[in-house]
Amino acid sequence: MKIQSVRTRVWEWRGKTVPPSANFCTNAMDALYDRGDAMGSFRFHGWMTCEVETDTGIVGIGNAALAPRISKQIIDTYLAGLVIGQDPWDYEYLWQRMYRSTHAWGRRGVGMVAISAVDIAIWDILGKAAGKPVFKLLGGRTKEHIPVYASKLYSGPIDEMQREAQSYVDQGFDMFKMRFGWGPKHGTAGMRENLDRVAAVREVVGPDRDLMLECYMGWNLDYARQMLPRLAPYRPRWLEEPVLADDIAGYAELNKLGIIPISGGEHEFNLMGFKQLLDAGAVSYIQYDTNRVGGITAAQKINALAEACQVPVVPHAGQMHNYHLTMANLNCPISEYFPVHDVEVGNELFYYIFEGDPEPENGFIDLSDDTPGLGLTISEKHLGDFEILE
Ligand SMILES: [Mg+2]
């Protein structure tokens, strides 16, 4: 079996979007005086698909969501030629080939995003060629089904957040993640806004369910230090990305306070990036994103490293590649799940591009033992809502 072609497409959403309200999620741009609309620079309404076809007629599907026009260019210009004509079973060789030949510029950021998309497509091929779901190739089933946490609860009016939280409780979820709307420049009054919302959601979900808190890099070390003791009474399972992804020392300082476990990693890249996080004691939960970190090949190595350090891995985003890795690794206890809803931030866009994502039941999702590959197909349903660049 040889790889015959690589097809990349950028999917830009032209359909209806939900405009975000002010203070619905802190982010790194908050520190600047020209904030513009909330999350303006962080919404992404485009996606990239990467279809790798073999001479046996198998098509593997990978995807990536960061800077899709650029990741497409990287694959078309640099990566496709490195894998065409090669045996997809040599996935480690192909990964190293892509990584080493682009190393001068590609090892972090969008270069690694492009490698990730090709690698995920290769793993989809391998599953389809073997007639097995990808998780079976990665170690098999380590859990009966995967507990998932409902991940939305953007900051907004308190009664709306409570209604949303209650709807997840009613659907059977036992774990929830909410976003902060206020950060350092909003001062003590903003702290109160944040705390009131955490208290309100905790009140709805009760004392015996897990609540996770997301800063999305919108705080800084000083602010986070002040917030940790104030948040502690609400017993969050973790506080996510309190500082910029580059501030490993800041993560480490907060995590070592031992007040609330610190999580992060969805903006970290590659095995060695995660070694730095773990060596520093920066995180109590690792949250790599498979379609950024170097694909399934890199994710499995990070899983091994994290297991040795006994730091649980909860991949960022509820996507199939993450579910397969979670199923196959005992050290991945739970998965993130983005509820299906109208297009807003962009997190939900993959539901409009693909078919095959599992639906949660009572807070769990399961993967089929009988569906070869990752189990995704490209959907025809919403083609009219996308501009597709090929
Ligand atoms: Mg996050």
Residue 75 sits in a domain of what CATH number?
3.30.390.10
Same domain? 86 vs 13:
yes
221 Cα–ligand 1 center, Å:
17
Per-residue pLDDT of the chain (390 residues; tens, 9 = 90+): 999 999 999 999 999 988 877 888 898 888 887 656 656 666 788 999 999 999 999 999 999 999 999 999 999 999 999 999 999 999 999 999 999 999 999 999 999 999 999 999 999 999 999 999 999 999 999 999 999 999 999 999 999 999 999 999 999 999 999 999 999 999 999 999 999 999 999 999 999 999 999 999 999 999 999 999 999 999 999 999 999 999 999 999 999 999 999 999 999 999 999 999 999 999 999 999 999 999 999 999 999 999 999 999 999 999 999 999 999 999 999 999 999 888 888 888 999 999 999 999 999 999 999 999 999 999 999 999 999 999
Give start and end residues of each alpha helix (H) in the chain.
68-74, 80-83, 91-101, 103-106, 110-130, 134-137, 158-170, 187-205, 221-231, 248-257, 270-279, 290-293, 295-309, 320-328, 350-353
Task: Tokens 């203070």: give the residue.
Answer: 23
Same domain? 121 vs 149:
no
In a domain, 390, yes or no: no
149 Cα–ligand 1 center, Å:
12
**Structure tokens belonging to residue 113:** 């995003």
Per-residue confidence (pLDDT) for residue 35, from 0 to 100: 59
Nearest C-alpha neighbor of 329 from the set 315, 342, 317: 315
In a domain, 245, yes or no: yes
Given a contact cutoff of 8 angstroms between Cβ atoms, the answer to whether 281 and 255 are in contact is yes
Task: Tokens 């959907």: give the residue.
Answer: 379
Domain containing residue 228: CATH number = 3.20.20.120
Same domain? 115 vs 156:
no
Same domain? 312 vs 366:
yes
106 Cα–ligand 1 center, Å:
23
Which of 86, 114, 131 represents a domain boundary (last residue)?
131
- Residue by residue, what is the 3-state secondary structure of 8-64? EEEEEECCCCCCCCCCCCCCHHHHCCCCCCCCCCCCCCEEEEEEEEECCCCEEEEEE
Q: Quote the number of domains for the chain.
A: 2
Same domain? 56 vs 192:
no
Same domain? 282 vs 361:
yes
In a domain, 308, yes or no: yes
- pLDDT tens-digit readout, 326-364: 999 999 999 999 998 888 888 889 999 999 999 999 999
Amino acid 65 reads A
241 Cα–ligand 1 center, Å:
7
Same domain? 237 vs 346:
yes
In a domain, 231, yes or no: yes
- Domain interval for residue 335: 136-374
**Structure tokens belonging to residue 229:** 């003791």
Same domain? 324 vs 261:
yes
In a domain, 380, yes or no: no
Nearest C-alpha neighbor of 202 from the set 186, 178, 171, 228: 178
Please give the Cα distance from 21 to 41 (Å, whole number). Answer: 14
375 Cα–ligand 1 center, Å:
24
In a domain, 154, yes or no: yes
Same domain? 116 vs 172:
no
**Structure tokens belonging to residue 168:** 């997840």
Which of 131, 161, 189 represents a domain boundary (last residue)?
131
Nearest C-alpha neighbor of 274 from the set 253, 256, 300: 300
314 Cα–ligand 1 center, Å:
11
Given a contact cutoff of 8 angstroms between Cβ atoms, the answer to whether 312 and 285 are in contact is yes
Residue 240 CA to its chain's centroid (Å): 12
Same domain? 301 vs 319:
yes
Residue 45 CA to its chain's centroid (Å): 16
Which of 82, 97, 131 represents a domain boundary (last residue)?
131
217 Cα–ligand 1 center, Å:
9
The residues annotated with a catalytic role in the active site are 316
Same domain? 45 vs 61:
yes
**Structure tokens belonging to residue 90:** 């040599």
Nearest C-alpha neighbor of 326 from the set 361, 377, 352, 364: 364
Same domain? 185 vs 115:
no
**Structure tokens belonging to residue 341:** 């809803």
- pLDDT tens-digit readout, 68-84: 999 999 999 999 999 99
In a domain, 67, yes or no: yes
In a domain, 120, yes or no: yes
3-class SS of residue 150: strand
